[in-house]
């Protein structure tokens, strides 16, 4: 079953951000673009490299009107402890959501029941809170913030220009394609 157009569930989660705890709900994800970036666990090996990569790219996501939410099944207290203990994680300015009951991980079908952890799932949500792009990959392979940003920007473009599509490696400002019968077999 595809997760495309799946609407995020109503949820409440504790977050660690800017050295404070605060609550994040579904309402906080509506009205703008969001990325839910699931990772298996704090204090692990590949995860800090991904989260640091996202931290470096975070200003570009903000310029694109997209909020990043990293999510693991750890508590917000563990997020704070990791932030305090790791120089890579200390760079993070985006909200780190705690999902200890796996409500979000289960809703987006990225929960690994056997391990009690979220898989490496990345979900781009439109302003209505619906999934427009996602991937779930092996826990031993890290993701790339630059490619994720490109996918967010392409998703935003086609959201605004429904009659056009973005080709492979499309970047903002480059030409898009307007599908038509005369293009069939020509590209």
Out of 47, 66, 73, 166, which one is annotated catalytic?
Answer: 47
Check residue 88 and give its pLDDT. 96
User: Which one-letter DSSP state was computed for residue 157?
Assistant: H
pLDDT at position 124: 98
Cβ neighbours, 10 Å, residue 13: 22
Residues 121-132: tens digit of each pLDDT: 999 999 999 999
Query: pLDDT tens digits for 143-180?
Result: 999 999 999 999 999 999 988 989 899 999 999 888 76
What is the distance between the terminal CA atoms of the chain, rounded to a whole angstrom?
A: 30
Burial class (CB in 10 A: 0-12, 13-18, 19+), 176: middle
pLDDT at 93: 98
Split at pLDDT 50, 70, 90, the class of 182 is low
Which residue is associated with the tokens 């009205």? 31
- The answer to whether residue 181 scores a pLDDT higher than 80 is no
Q: What is the pLDDT of residue 187?
A: 61
The yes-or-no answer on residue 66 being catalytic is no
Residue 43: its pLDDT value, please?
Answer: 97
**Rounded Cα distance, 74 and 80, in Å:** 10
pLDDT tier for residue 186 given thresholds of 50, 70 and 90:
low
pLDDT tens per residue, range 7-48:
999 999 999 999 999 999 999 999 999 999 999 999 999 999
Domain ranges of the chain: 12-143
Residues 6+ apart with CB under 8 A from 31: 127
CATH-assigned architecture of domain 12-143? 3-Layer(aba) Sandwich (3.40)
Is the pLDDT assigned to residue 183 strictly greater than 60? no
CA torsion through residues 31, 37, 38, 42, sign: negative
CA distance 97 to 69: 6
In our burial notation (b when 16+ CB lie closer than 10 A, e otherwise), range 39-75 reads bbbbeeebbbebbbbbbebbeebeeeebbbbbbbbbe
pLDDT one-digit tens code per residue, 68-98: 999 999 999 999 999 999 999 999 999 999 9
> Can you give the pLDDT at residue 176?
87
What is the band of 184 on the pLDDT scale with cuts at 50, 70, 90?
low
Tell me, what's the pLDDT at 185?
66
């Amino acid at each position: 079953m595809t997760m495309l157009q799946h609407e995020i569930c109503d949820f409440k989660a504790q977050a660690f951000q800017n050295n404070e705890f605060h609550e994040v709900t579904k309402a906080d994800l509506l009205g703008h673009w969001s990325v839910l970036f699931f990772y298996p666990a704090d204090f692990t090996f590949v995860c800090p490299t991904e989260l640091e990569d996202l931290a470096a790219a975070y200003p570009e996501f903000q310029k694109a009107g997209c909020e990043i939410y990293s999510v693991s099944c750890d508590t917000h207290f563990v997020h704070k402890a990791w932030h305090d203990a790791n120089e890579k994680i200390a760079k993070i300015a985006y909200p780190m959501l705690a999902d200890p009951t796996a409500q979000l991980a289960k809703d987006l079908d990225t929960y690994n029941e056997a391990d009690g952890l979220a898989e490496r799932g990345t979900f781009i949500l439109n302003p209505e809170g619906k999934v427009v792009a996602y991937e779930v990959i092996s826990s031993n392979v890290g993701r790339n913030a630059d490619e994720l940003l490109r996918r967010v920007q392409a998703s935003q473009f086609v959201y605004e220009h429904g009659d056009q599509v973005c080709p492979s490696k499309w970047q903002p400002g480059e030409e898009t394609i307007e599908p038509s019968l005369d293009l069939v077999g020509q590209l």
